[in-house]
Structure 1
Amino acid sequence: MSQLTIVDLAKKLGLSKSTVSRAFRDNVDINPATKARILAMAEEIGFSPNVYASSLKANKSLTIAIIIPEFGNKFFSQAIKGIEAVARSKGYHTLIYVTDHQVQNEASIVRSLANGRVDGVIISASGEGKDHSHLQLLAERGIPVMFFDRAYDDWKGGYITGNDFDSAYLATKHLIDNACKRIAYLAINPNVSIGKVRKDGYEKGLQEVGIPIRPELILDTVNDADQNMKDIAHLIEREKPDAIFASVERLAISSIRVAKQLEIRIPEDLKIICFSCLDIADLIDPALSVVKQPAYEMGQLVTKYLLDKMEDPENTKFANSVYLDSQLIFQKSSLK
């Protein structure tokens, strides 16, 4: 039996080839009842469209690139799940690239993608840097870009992120409400957008109740666990903070390890809270207080926006940033 074609299916249904084609592309410009009838008949006669051939004719790769700073963070693994769920539902594949927080690596990856290997790019910024001309290259090649979680100050498009300022402010207020007065703020690469915003929220929480901002309690450390533990130990021994607000989860874990080494009790001597998507925060001893970001939902939404942008790149909605609410979960590590 010869292979069935979209023309055969259209003839059987008494519809035009373009109408049948729109049903398989999940086009919104088709009556839902008509679409259901087309798909039901396709199932009945065993017809399956050649998506790959269609993509070649349309000069599309049906592939989306995801560029992230790191894998070793639960936030990104959850965000990728959200991205892939939406991408797969629309017939797209994904390629994942990791920059190790280096903007030069990001630039190299973007230049390699600008040859048309992908139809769109989703990025979480690697580091601030000064030269982001690689993003302009994508624009020149007509490849849509959407940022999530982290963006650059000179990025003119919108992006999907969490309400980090409000969350950092509320986390700081929580520590203050639990009798903390010397609250240390720990960050890695504070020049990235989220680092700045979270620090601003922390400072607002202090200023609102008249606690001075002490630069000596603000630690800018590194990704390396051994080095950041040394930096945290030095901070604790020198400045004697009564609380630590970590902008990323790995710094909270390092702080717990340092406290154990120094025989500092949590939460009696030192309270801790951090931004984190850890599912096992309640199993840490003591249970870790967290600002839990909607990582999966962020991944879903940024992918929906990218796909919309690919269809309608001039739509002004893509210049607006979208802020999703995080969940503050207060557990033993930050309570009186």
Structure 2
Amino acid sequence: MRKDKITSDELARLCGVSQGTIDRALNNRPGISPKTKQKVLQMAKDHGFIKNQYASSLSRGTSNLIGVVMLNLKNEFFSQLLTSIESTARSFGYTTAIMLSDNLEQVERQCVETLVGMNAAGILLCSVIPDPAYGKQLLQYSTSLVSLGNHICGEIPHIGIDDCAAMFDSTRYVLRHSYDHIYYVSPVLSRSSKENIDAQTQRFKGFEKAMALQPSVHYTVLRDPDTYQSILKSIPANGGRSAVICSSDSYTIQCLQLFKNSDVGIMGFDNPTMLRRLYPQLSTISYPIDAIGQLAVKTVLSPVKEQKSHYLAHTLISGTTIK
């Protein structure tokens, strides 16, 4: 028969120990013998004790909670990143609270405020807010913060890759294959005045930097979300050798479907797990998604708070879609 749940005070009396000993046993802290710890855990199990995480967080001023604010989960990049974050946080004994901003500034602000109010031990933030003062507002919170995807400000550590260098390498690789015309697919650039799209901005800078080294090659930037697909459909009929460079794999998937029976070259960017399985020979930039999620958790939980950002190495995959 299931026993009634008990409080931590009652658990301490049943075990004949102090509240401090109960805390050490339940939270796997040092200063308790294995025998006493086992006794407390078994008694807690027998009596259906459930630790009040909220009360514990109030007493400590923080919680075993890591907040994550993502744009959305429609893109496999974000779902894979979140999986890495959650599994890493769990390995350190932390629970992950996931919130989605849907690319909306006000929603993002509310998400952050909610997580701060929950005494989150740290917040991993994929931000879309372009306001330069936003970073200073975030720094007023005592909660540890790490940015992912888009930089926020120099004082908030960022975990990612050098997007400019990665796209520069990608473009140079495509140019070495003697294409007559390059199409850079990045409709998200149309939102640059309204959103923080720093990662995409840096990638575009890398593309322009590489193209400037080979001015004889023509290129077109597809940044209009209303017209880019119709332009892509016209490429095979334009004559000459053409290639598309995608600023993220949400566009790569569209191009792979569109040009599956043509000679148009395709260069991806991100290379999440599922796309690797579907198109194992895709030419692309491999973004170390899992490693970034792991490092982000370790950084936000580090007892030594530092402003240093960490840039992991990207990998250029020489597939068969560029030839």
TM (norm. structure 2) is 0.76
C-alpha contact 1:162 1:325 (8 A) present in aligned 2: yes
Match of 1:219 in 2: 222
Q: Percent identity?
A: 21
Deviations 1:74-112 (A, max 9, x none): 221121122112222233221212222233432232244
1:149 Cα offset (Å) = 2.5
Q: In the alignment, does 2:286 pair up with 1:278? A: no
Q: In the alignment, does 2:212 pair up with 1:207? A: yes
C-alpha contact 1:79 1:298 (8 A) present in aligned 2: yes
Deviating more after overlay: 44-53 vs 140-149: 44-53
Match of 1:250 in 2: 250
Letter in 1 for 2:319: Q
Match of 2:301 in 1: 307
Q: Structure 1: where are the runs of 5+ without partners?
A: 12-16
Match of 1:328 in 2: 316
Give distance in 2, aligned partners of 1:120 and 1:298: 16
SS at match of 1:202: helix
TM (norm. structure 1) is 0.74
Match of 1:74 in 2: 76
C-alpha contact 1:221 1:231 (8 A) present in aligned 2: no
Judged with a 3 Å threshold, the aligned counterparts in structure 2 of structure 1 residues 242 and 256 are, in CA distance, closer, same or farther, namely same
Give distance in 1, aligned partners of 2:246 and 2:238: 18
Give distance in 2, aligned partners of 1:93 and 1:239: 55
Give distance in 1, aligned partners of 2:160 and 2:43: 41
Match of 2:203 in 1: 198
1:219 Cα offset (Å) = 1.6
Judged with a 3 Å threshold, the aligned counterparts in structure 2 of structure 1 residues 235 and 321 are, in CA distance, closer, same or farther, namely farther
Matching residue within 22, 38, 42 for 2:37: 42
Match of 2:184 in 1: 185
Q: In the alignment, does 2:107 pair up with 1:105? A: yes
C-alpha contact 1:181 1:242 (8 A) present in aligned 2: yes
Give distance in 2, aligned partners of 1:132 and 1:6: 52
C-alpha contact 2:81 2:290 (8 A) present in aligned 1: yes
Q: In the alignment, does 2:148 pair up with 1:148? A: yes
Matching residue within 284, 293, 306 for 1:290: 284
C-alpha contact 1:188 1:195 (8 A) present in aligned 2: no
C-alpha contact 2:25 2:37 (8 A) present in aligned 1: no
Give distance in 2, aligned partners of 1:149 and 1:122: 10
Match of 2:164 in 1: 165
Match of 2:47 in 1: none
Q: In the alignment, does 2:52 pair up with 1:54? A: no
C-alpha contact 1:75 1:295 (8 A) present in aligned 2: yes
SS at match of 1:125: coil
Judged with a 3 Å threshold, the aligned counterparts in structure 2 of structure 1 residues 50 and 109 are, in CA distance, closer, same or farther, namely closer
Give distance in 2, aligned partners of 1:329 and 1:161: 18
Judged with a 3 Å threshold, the aligned counterparts in structure 2 of structure 1 residues 21 and 270 are, in CA distance, closer, same or farther, namely same
C-alpha contact 1:217 1:235 (8 A) present in aligned 2: no
Report the aligned-residue RMSD.
3.6
C-alpha contact 1:228 1:254 (8 A) present in aligned 2: no
C-alpha contact 1:221 1:228 (8 A) present in aligned 2: yes
Give distance in 1, aligned partners of 2:239 and 2:121: 51
Judged with a 3 Å threshold, the aligned counterparts in structure 2 of structure 1 residues 141 and 9 are, in CA distance, closer, same or farther, namely farther
Q: How do 1:232-243 residues align onto structure 2 when only pairs under 5 Å count?
A: 232-233=232-233, 242-243=242-243
Give distance in 1, aligned partners of 2:52 and 2:114: 25
Judged with a 3 Å threshold, the aligned counterparts in structure 2 of structure 1 residues 200 and 26 are, in CA distance, closer, same or farther, namely farther
Give distance in 1, aligned partners of 2:238 and 2:106: 36
